[in-house]
């Protein structure tokens, strides 16, 4: 148990260091962007005096190191600061949108994960059959098609032609769960298609590799049923790689919502990020980017911990 706790502590420390490095990269990247945020806010006709006054008001005239430490300290203390364009608290701007983005990603994950695992296991059991080949061809096609193209195909087919789902996912806080789910179906399906193939193919490859192992052959010789072989012998040993690919796919669902949210006008963090980049709202851009980085690192950390716990060789070290 002590060995596992040490491994988990190392993963947590590595995740914290990763987030710190990401924060540095984000800040430096925003600093290197061409143009002046104050000039962009005031417009081309602003006088130098007005630009200088706004830079002083926003703290843009301070040294970069001081601004970085102030921004990082605010994030660590829970103070996300204010938008330099709207003057609103960033926590108010991003609060509801975070839940919208997590709802969309969770909805897509609830479709993609069980479907991918089921198809992957069935494809491994019926390897080289018509079902296996059909699923693999469909997976390759879904991987090859760009996500934004799928979004527009779904809009044209399911919204414009058939009129089944709305083309714009207008989400408001007063919606009930059914209406919110109905308006989120199209972007959720678009996200699902993007990650389904990766999880399915990894599951199939892992199970196929395990089914060729000697202990699986021994279980077959003892008369174990196919279901028992998969559930009792193959899946427990396949948990670690499957957990990793599922976690990476879930991280992609959250981070990859940017394109989907913009196309469907879904009020999430991704759309706020794109709007803030267009308006040169530096503080909001940094906060949105840190949110995506935090989710990605946490999901990878969670996958590492689950992989450690599910690995018998780590649970019972010699």
* Non-local CB neighbours of 104 within 8 Å, separated by 6+ positions: 184, 187, 188, 191, 257, 260, 261, 266, 268
Instruction: Give the pLDDT confidence score for residue 81 in this predicted structure.
Output: 77
Question: Contact, 297 vs 254, CB < 8 A?
Answer: no
CATH 1.10.3720.10 in the chain is located at 96-311
| Cα 203 to Cα 205: distance, rounded to the nearest angstrom | 6
pLDDT digits (tens, 9 = 90+) for 224-243: 776 677 777 777 777 777 77
How many other CB atoms sit within 10 Å of the CB of residue 48?
Answer: 8
Residue-level pLDDT, tens digit, the chain, 318 residues:
676 777 778 888 888 888 889 888 888 877 776 666 666 666 666 677 777 777 776 677 777 788 888 888 888 887 777 787 777 888 888 888 888 888 888 888 888 888 888 888 888 888 888 988 888 888 888 878 887 888 888 888 888 888 888 888 888 888 888 888 888 888 888 888 878 888 888 888 888 877 777 777 777 777 777 667 777 777 777 777 777 777 777 777 777 788 888 888 888 888 888 888 877 778 888 888 888 888 888 888 887 777 777 665 655 555
Helix (H) or strand (E) holding 257: helix 257-264
Question: Contact, 151 vs 264, CB < 8 A?
Answer: yes
Crossing angle of helices 177-211 and 147-154, in 10° steps, is 130
Instruction: Give the pLDDT confidence score for residue 47 in this predicted structure.
Output: 72
Tokens of 203: 């599951």
Question: Contact, 82 vs 88, CB < 8 A?
Answer: yes
Question: Contact, 36 vs 46, CB < 8 A?
Answer: no
- pTM (2 d.p.): 0.80
Instruction: Give the pLDDT confidence score for residue 314 in this predicted structure.
Output: 55
Instruction: Give the pLDDT confidence score for residue 58 in this predicted structure.
Output: 67
* Non-local CB neighbours of 19 within 8 Å, separated by 6+ positions: 290, 293, 294, 297
Instruction: Give the pLDDT confidence score for residue 66 in this predicted structure.
Output: 81
Superfamily name and number for 96-311: MetI-like (1.10.3720.10)
């Amino acid at each position: 148990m002590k060995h596992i706790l040490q491994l988990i502590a190392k993963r947590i420390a590595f995740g914290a260091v990763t987030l710190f490095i990401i924060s540095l990269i984000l800040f430096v990247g925003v600093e290197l962007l061409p143009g002046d945020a104050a000039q962009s806010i005031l417009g081309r006709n602003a006088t130098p005096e007005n630009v200088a006054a706004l830079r002083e008001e926003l703290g843009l005239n301070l040294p970069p190191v001081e601004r970085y430490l102030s921004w990082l300290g605010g994030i660590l203390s829970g103070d996300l600061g204010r938008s330099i364009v709207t003057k609103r608290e960033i926590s108010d701007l991003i609060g509801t949108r975070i839940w919208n983005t997590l709802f969309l990603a969770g909805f897509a994950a609830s479709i993609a994960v069980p479907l991918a695992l089921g198809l992957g296991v069935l494809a491994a059991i019926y390897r080289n059959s018509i079902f296996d080949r059909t699923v693999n061809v469909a997976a390759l096609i879904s991987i090859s098609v760009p996500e934004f193209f799928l979004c527009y195909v779904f809009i044209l087919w399911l919204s414009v032609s058939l009129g089944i789902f709305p083309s714009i996912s207008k989400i408001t806080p007063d919606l009930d769960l059914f209406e919110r789910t109905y308006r989120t179906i199209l972007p959720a399906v678009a996200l699902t298609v993007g990650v389904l193939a990766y999880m399915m193919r990894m599951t199939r490859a892992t199970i196929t590799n395990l089914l060729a192992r000697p202990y699986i052959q021994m279980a077959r010789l003892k008369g174990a049923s196919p279901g028992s072989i998969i559930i009792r012998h193959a899946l427990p040993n396949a948990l670690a790689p499957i957990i990793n690919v599922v976690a990476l796919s879930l991280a992609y669902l959250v981070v990859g919502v940017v394109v989907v949210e913009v196309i469907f006008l879904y009020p999430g963090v991704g759309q706020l990020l794109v709007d803030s980049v267009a308006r040169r709202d530096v503080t909001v851009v940094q906060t949105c980017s840190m949110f995506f980085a935090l989710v990605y690192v946490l999901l990878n950390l969670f996958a590492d911990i689950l992989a450690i716990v599910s690995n018998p060789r780590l649970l019972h070290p010699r």
